[in-house]
Amino acid sequence: MAIVHPFKGWLPKAEKAAEISSVPYDVVNAKEAAELAQGKRESFLHVIRPEIDLPGGTAFHADEVYEKGAENLKKLLASESMQQDDVPSLYVYQLETDSRTQTGVFACASVQDYDNDVILKHELTRPDKEDDRTRHIITQMAHAEPVMLTFKDTDGGITFLMEKTMLTSEPAIDINPDGTVRHRIWKIQAPAELVEAFSKIPTLYVADGHHRCKSASRAAEELRKKDGTPPGEAEYDYFPAVLFPIDQMNILAYNRIIKKVNEETFRRLREDFDLTEQAEPVPEEKGTVSIYYKGSWYGLRLPESEKEKTASQLDVARLQNHILSPLFGIENPRTDENIDFVGGIRGTVELERLVDEGEADLAISMYPTAIEELVKVSDEGDLMPPKSTWFEPKIRSGLIIHTF
């Protein structure tokens, strides 16, 4: 059964929350992070992307990067802009856009739950990204960013407790920093009811943040070896997460670009898969993709999988097994430098731009993976191909920080 752990969160003061909080580390590159943080000395991007404060050309994994991140976090927490709760708490975190509202519990999840498959995964992680985030955690002695988990709130009990908190108290934080997503946080000073409710939930699912989960586990293991604390007894054995009911989750497509494609390969693609011309940029149904090449959109119906497992029947798997591997020679999309991934929030306009400006030769617009497919793959103990899901809206970083 799932463990949720109340903790003494560090929160920005209400009037500082919009300026301090930031997008997550992995949705922007260093150039974009630097632009977003320009003129904002307390932006959380200085903590999670500290390379923006170092000379250009500094190696991504250089010692100075991790040391700078720890220094920036220490300065921020020591400033008058931040305050730590006096008692361990849980929080309600709500994301609201013009079209939808998503509400979850901000808590610490258990490393032991992750290691013992109470928290189920659906994607493989990359060792280089694990190494990077693990080192950040240990150097900063903090989990700077939460992961996104989801669960089946079968009887609606947890949703009821969240709604009760929102109806009986005012939010501690209420911001809309980019004009598109409103972020609100309520403190739950007496969290026992929610702790008890989650103790009856048999399974949590990783939605967004596989590398942060794995890095939290690795960091805890390393720190445990140093101080000999039994599992589950140290604060580093718990990492921050926002837990959303499954019926509130929203998945967008995770699109692909291929950097180099020769004419012969595209000719084979066109002939072997009977591409339709003048296709819509966004696929209209599962089993189809749209391909952008030299200024035109083409439609393609993916071959059916011969395997019955849910993971093999995903569009991303069918694309990989029938097209990317045999035709483009992309055997491992986790490591192949000829493929890159573009979150669905950027739209097909971004795919067109990347191809038209020569950053890629071909773009593939995907139909979104369903949340039911994610759960089924996880329950079957299987894994999806990398970059199968893009969750939106994103949790904002720097609103609640967990130190140990």
Residue range 184-229, pLDDT digits in tens: 999 997 899 999 999 999 999 999 999 999 999 999 999 999 999 9
Q: How far apart are CA 108 and CA 240, in angstroms?
A: 4
Q: How far apart are CA 250 and CA 392, in angstroms?
A: 6
pLDDT of residue 205: 98
Domain residue ranges in the chain = 4-251+393-403, 254-367
Q: Return the exposure string of 161-179: e unless at least 16 CB atoms fall within 10 Å of the residue's CB, then b.
A: bbeebeeeeebbbebebee
pLDDT of residue 295: 97
Q: How far apart are CA 381 and CA 376, in angstroms?
A: 9
pLDDT of residue 358: 97
Q: How far apart are CA 319 and CA 302, in angstroms?
A: 7
Residue with tokens 């999988």: 305
Indicate the class that CATH gives domain 254-367: alpha beta
From the number of C-beta atoms within 10 Å of its C-beta (0-12, 13-18, 19+), residue 396 rates as buried
Identify the segments of the chain with pLDDT beneath 70. none
pLDDT of residue 400: 98
Residue with tokens 């509400």: 103
Q: How far apart are CA 209 and CA 104, in angstroms?
A: 16
pLDDT of residue 265: 96
Residue with tokens 């990067």: 65
pLDDT of residue 376: 95
Q: What's this model's pTM, rounded to 2 decimal places? A: 0.90
> Looking at 132-287, which runs of residues are DSSP E strands?
142-143, 147-151, 173-175, 182-188, 204-208, 238-245, 251-252, 254-258, 276-277
